[in-house]
Amino acid sequence: MINFKHSVEAIGVCHSPYKQKFGIPRQPGLVDAKGTIELIGDYNHPDFVEGIEQYSHLWLIFSFHENLTQGFKAKVRPPRLGGNDKMGVLATRSTFRPNGIGQSVVRLHSVNRKNGQIRINISGMDLVDSTPILDIKPYLPFSDNIQDATAGFAQQAPQQLDVHFSQAALQTLSEQTNHYEVEALISQVLSQDPRPAYKKNNEDCKIYHISLYELNISWQVVENIVIVKNITNIF
Ligand code: SAM
């Protein structure tokens, strides 16, 4: 068994509003972002999803495909520890890990079987757009929800910041067709304070950029409040 190897292939691809890794929530369920999984190749067949709508939530098993070439180390610096202390990679949810496999619980909304394409509509994912999906399994509350579980340094969800929009940002938002949804998404994403851990103690007021849908959003943190400075269309 020492040389055991197991090759896998994508069964689908996740489409999400997150166009870059920076800014994506660090776990699922923290932001109510909507996305879709498109089944591909031979897996794009209704037989594969028969019965899946009986479940409210799914486990996605996926590849951290954007990091695969960067390898992994036995010890990593989890953001929740301020980026200073190290932990064994297997004691963390680091994206740089042996085999580069991630897993996330997401909400299942519906399955669309139109025009020969299976699309599974989901929300709450923490996956960058175009992430390859390796497997999908139903979430089983009786087994997966462990009431007395302990979680070391990550026992609770991270603290959230308030988010304020400038007039200029609100103006661009008002021109978007689904602007309430986009505003709520930006607000939820930035309330997670995506700044690198080691920056959080410095009030450096640096301006950061994230991409959501086709929007480029510039923001900074001033006195623990996120200010959305500007929003521009990428195209
Ligand atoms: N819930 C999953 C897990 O525990 O395996 C992922 C946790 S990981 C800390 C979440 C982060 O992975 C996101 O904030 C994003 O920066 C990164 N990420 C998402 N999709 C990725 C991908 N396809 N390749 C590399 N990194 C990705």
198-231 tens-digit pLDDT = 777 666 689 999 999 999 999 999 999 999 999 9
Residue 124 phi, psi dihedral angles, 5° rounding: 85, 10
C-alpha 184/C-alpha 31 separation (Å) is 9
DSSP 28-64: TTSS--EEEEEE-GGG-SGGGGTTGGG-SEEEEEEE-
C-alpha 78/C-alpha 72 separation (Å) is 14
**Facing residues of 112 across strands?**
119
C-alpha 205/C-alpha 226 separation (Å) is 10
For ligand 1, atom 16, name the residue with the nearest CA: 21
For ligand 1, atom 15, name the residue with the nearest CA: 21
The verdict on the CB of residue 211 being under 6 Å from ligand 1 is no
- Shortest CA distance to 169 belongs to which of 183, 180, 181? 183
The verdict on the CB of residue 66 being under 6 Å from ligand 1 is yes
- Long-range contacts of the stretch 70-78 (C-beta < 8 A, 24+): 70/96, 71/96, 72/96, 72/97, 72/98, 72/100, 77/197, 78/153, 78/154
Is the ipTM of this structure higher than 0.90?
A: yes
pLDDT tier for residue 96 given thresholds of 50, 70 and 90: very high
pTM: 0.96
In degrees, rounded to 5, the angle at the alpha carbon of residue 165 between the alpha carbons of residues 220 and 182 is: 105
> Residue type at 163?
V
The verdict on the CB of residue 121 being under 6 Å from ligand 1 is no
pLDDT tier for residue 87 given thresholds of 50, 70 and 90: very high
Residue 210, pLDDT score: 97
CA of 130 to the centre of ligand 1 (A): 12
If you average pLDDT over residues 8-24, what whole number do you get? Answer: 98
Domains of the chain plus CATH, in order, are 12-141 (2.40.30.70), 162-233 (3.30.2310.20)
CA of 95 to the centre of ligand 1 (A): 6
Residue 83, pLDDT score: 81
If you average pLDDT over residues 63-75, what whole number do you get? Answer: 97
Tens digits of residue pLDDT in 136-193:
999 999 999 999 999 998 889 989 999 999 999 999 999 988 899 999 999 999 999 9
For ligand 1, atom 27, name the residue with the nearest CA: 64
